Amino acid sequence: MIKLGDLLNEAKRSVVHKAVKGGSFPVSLVVIKNGKVIDQELVNTPMAVPAAFNVIQSKHKGATVHIEDKTGKRLFSEDVNEGKEPEIITQLRDVLKNGYKTLKDPKSGKRMKVDTYSASAIVGVYDKLNPSNQEKFVKQGLLGMQSLAFKLIK
C-alpha cells in the first residue's frame, strides 16, 4: 500500500531533481534564516540532491533553503514552515512530548482528551501536507483531523 508521506516526498523529490538537473555541479544547498546564511552543504551529483535537500530541510525548520549551482545561479528555493504553526498543532506536539492532555477543539470549542497515539497520527499527517492542505486539514477541527489521519496512516 502506498502511504501519503511516500507520495508527497516522491513528488517533492522529482520537482527538486528537475530543477537541478540543468545546473552545473557541484551545487550548494544554502539555508537562510533571518537574512543570514546558517548552513551550507555541497552536493556533487544530481541524484543526491533531493535526498540532501530533504535532510537539510528537516534540520532547519523556519528557514529558507536555496539550491544554487557552481556559478551562483539559484535553481530552486523553498521556505520551511512558512509562517507560524497553528496553535492546535503546537498543542499536539506538546502531547507527544509530555503525554496525555485535554485540548480545546478549535472548530467546536469543546475540550477533548488526546493521547499520544492520536497526536502522533495527526501531527505525522500534518507534517507531510503542503501549506495549502495543512490549512484545510486544521480547519476540520480535532475530530476531523483525527478521523482523516487514521484513514491515511493505514
- 89-130 pLDDT, tens digit per residue, is 989 999 999 888 999 998 899 999 999 999 999 999 998 888
Answer whether residue 56 shows pLDDT above 80: yes
Angle 4-20/116-128 helices, nearest 10 degrees?
30
CA 40 – CA 15 distance, rounded (Å): 21
The pLDDT > 90 percentage for the chain reads 38
> For 55-62, what is the mean pLDDT?
81
Residues of 16-31 as b/e, b for ≥16 C-beta within 10 angstroms? beebbeebeeebbbbb
Q: Which of 16-20, 67-71, 87-91 has the lowest mean pLDDT?
A: 16-20
Q: ∠ at Cα 75 (9, 127), nearest 5°?
A: 25
CA 38 – CA 131 distance, rounded (Å): 23
Find cell 557552481 and name the residue: 70
